[in-house]
Copies of this chain bind each other. A is one copy, B any other.
Amino acid sequence: MLDALGDRTRRSILELLREGPVTVGELAARLPVSRPAVSQHLRVLQESGLVAHETVGTRNFYRVDSRGLTVLRDWLDDFWGTALESFAAFADKESSDGTAD
Protein backbone atom coordinates (compact mmCIF):
# COMPACT_ATOMS: atom_id res chain seq x y z
CA MET A 1 0.00 0.00 0.00
CA LEU A 2 2.39 2.68 1.18
CA ASP A 3 5.06 0.97 -0.87
CA ALA A 4 3.04 1.81 -3.94
CA LEU A 5 3.03 5.48 -2.98
CA GLY A 6 6.76 5.46 -2.41
CA ASP A 7 7.50 6.04 -6.09
CA ARG A 8 7.44 9.42 -7.80
CA THR A 9 6.12 8.17 -11.11
CA ARG A 10 3.27 6.33 -9.46
CA ARG A 11 2.31 9.42 -7.53
CA SER A 12 2.36 11.37 -10.80
CA ILE A 13 0.04 8.78 -12.30
CA LEU A 14 -2.38 9.20 -9.42
CA GLU A 15 -2.24 12.97 -9.86
CA LEU A 16 -3.17 12.55 -13.52
CA LEU A 17 -6.02 10.22 -12.58
CA ARG A 18 -7.43 12.70 -10.09
CA GLU A 19 -9.44 14.47 -12.76
CA GLY A 20 -11.02 11.34 -14.14
CA PRO A 21 -10.37 8.13 -16.09
CA VAL A 22 -7.39 8.17 -18.46
CA THR A 23 -6.08 5.57 -20.91
CA VAL A 24 -2.64 4.00 -20.63
CA GLY A 25 -1.37 5.68 -23.77
CA GLU A 26 -2.57 9.05 -22.58
CA LEU A 27 -0.75 8.58 -19.28
CA ALA A 28 2.44 7.56 -21.04
CA ALA A 29 2.20 10.62 -23.29
CA ARG A 30 2.03 12.94 -20.30
CA LEU A 31 4.82 11.24 -18.39
CA PRO A 32 8.57 11.11 -19.07
CA VAL A 33 8.58 7.31 -19.19
CA SER A 34 7.64 4.68 -21.77
CA ARG A 35 4.24 3.06 -22.02
CA PRO A 36 5.31 -0.34 -20.68
CA ALA A 37 6.71 1.39 -17.62
CA VAL A 38 3.31 2.96 -17.07
CA SER A 39 1.64 -0.43 -17.41
CA GLN A 40 3.93 -1.89 -14.77
CA HIS A 41 3.23 0.96 -12.39
CA LEU A 42 -0.48 0.61 -12.97
CA ARG A 43 -0.21 -3.04 -12.07
CA VAL A 44 1.40 -2.18 -8.74
CA LEU A 45 -1.18 0.50 -8.06
CA GLN A 46 -3.99 -1.90 -8.85
CA GLU A 47 -2.59 -4.60 -6.57
CA SER A 48 -2.57 -2.00 -3.82
CA GLY A 49 -6.20 -1.17 -4.50
CA LEU A 50 -5.38 2.41 -5.40
CA VAL A 51 -6.59 2.26 -8.99
CA ALA A 52 -9.09 0.26 -11.03
CA HIS A 53 -9.35 -0.24 -14.76
CA GLU A 54 -12.17 -0.53 -17.23
CA THR A 55 -11.62 -1.85 -20.73
CA VAL A 56 -13.42 -0.14 -23.60
CA GLY A 57 -12.57 -1.68 -26.94
CA THR A 58 -8.81 -1.71 -27.28
CA ARG A 59 -8.40 1.06 -24.78
CA ASN A 60 -8.01 0.65 -21.07
CA PHE A 61 -9.26 3.41 -18.83
CA TYR A 62 -7.74 3.66 -15.38
CA ARG A 63 -9.26 5.58 -12.51
CA VAL A 64 -8.63 6.16 -8.83
CA ASP A 65 -10.09 3.47 -6.59
CA SER A 66 -11.56 4.82 -3.39
CA ARG A 67 -10.98 1.49 -1.62
CA GLY A 68 -7.24 2.07 -1.48
CA LEU A 69 -7.71 5.62 -0.29
CA THR A 70 -9.99 4.37 2.46
CA VAL A 71 -7.38 1.92 3.73
CA LEU A 72 -4.78 4.66 3.69
CA ARG A 73 -7.05 7.07 5.53
CA ASP A 74 -7.92 4.48 8.18
CA TRP A 75 -4.26 3.70 8.75
CA LEU A 76 -3.45 7.38 9.11
CA ASP A 77 -6.35 8.01 11.48
CA ASP A 78 -5.32 5.09 13.66
CA PHE A 79 -1.72 6.18 13.73
CA TRP A 80 -2.66 9.78 14.39
CA GLY A 81 -4.83 8.85 17.34
CA THR A 82 -2.21 6.72 19.05
CA ALA A 83 0.50 9.30 18.49
CA LEU A 84 -1.59 12.01 20.11
CA GLU A 85 -2.45 9.76 23.05
CA SER A 86 1.16 8.89 23.76
CA PHE A 87 2.14 12.49 23.39
CA ALA A 88 -0.47 13.54 25.91
CA ALA A 89 0.69 10.82 28.31
CA PHE A 90 4.27 11.94 27.83
CA ALA A 91 3.33 15.56 28.54
CA ASP A 92 1.45 14.49 31.68
CA LYS A 93 4.42 12.49 32.92
CA GLU A 94 6.68 15.43 32.25
CA SER A 95 4.62 17.88 34.27
CA SER A 96 3.85 15.47 37.14
CA ASP A 97 7.53 14.62 37.43
CA GLY A 98 8.31 18.27 37.70
CA THR A 99 10.94 17.78 35.05
CA ALA A 100 9.43 20.55 32.99
CA ASP A 101 11.64 23.56 33.18
Contact = CB atoms under 8 A, between A and B. Distances in A.
Interface of A: 2-3, 5-8, 11, 14, 18-21, 63-64, 66, 69, 72-73, 76, 79-80, 82-84, 86-87, 89-90
A18 B83 CA distance: 5
A82 to B, nearest CB: 5
A76 B8 CA distance: 16
Number of copies: 2
Given A20-B90, A73-B80, 13 more contacts: A3-B8, A6-B7, A18-B79, A18-B83, A18-B86, A20-B87, A64-B83, A64-B87, A66-B83, A66-B84, A66-B87, A72-B76, A76-B76
